Amino acid sequence: MTPTQEADTDRAENPIGFSAVSLVVLRKRADFLKAASARRQGTHGFLLQGRDRGDGALTVRVGFTASKKIGNAVLRNRAKRRLRALAREVLAARANPGWDYVLVARPETTVTRPYADLSLDLTQALQSLHRAARR
């Protein structure tokens, strides 16, 4: 096998590329409402909402919200793209299996804040959220 073929094989087995935990995107309004009524942690760049589903599943479900407060469609889509990239990078590595997370974009800062700062924000928010859940 060539190195390129080996990389393709690895990617097929683990499409996220970071962790064995699989990310599933939330689609139903009821799931968003349950996450909104659970724990939350604010950061400079976004709001993180999270809840333990308690079903014993190994999947991590994630949703993204960018309201019209963010701006026009271009800015809302840019904010959601940045949040999706964060989820692939950080949530795949640090999320607790069996949890639902919703990343809510904040006006101006989600789009303009440096990506490295957003990544650090998400890491710290996850730690805080999980620490509070253990209490």
Contact 61, 24 (CB under 8 A): yes
Per-residue pLDDT of the chain (135 residues; tens, 9 = 90+): 444 444 444 434 444 444 556 789 999 999 999 999 999 999 999 999 999 998 888 899 999 999 999 999 999 999 999 999 999 999 989 999 999 999 999 999 999 999 999 999 999 999 999 998 887
Contact 64, 100 (CB under 8 A): no
What value, to the nearest 5°, has the Cα angle with vertex 78 and ends 74 and 79?
120
User: Token match 């924000």: residue?
Assistant: 121
Structure tokens at 38: 């659970």
- pTM listed for this prediction: 0.82
Question: Rounded distance, CA 7 to CA 51, Å?
Answer: 34
Contact 40, 50 (CB under 8 A): yes
Residue spans of the domains in the chain: they are 21-130
Out of 3.30.230.10, 1.10.10.370, 3.40.640.10, 3.10.450.50, which CATH number does the structure's domain 21-130 have?
3.30.230.10
What value, to the nearest 5°, has the Cα angle with vertex 33 and ends 14 and 133?
65
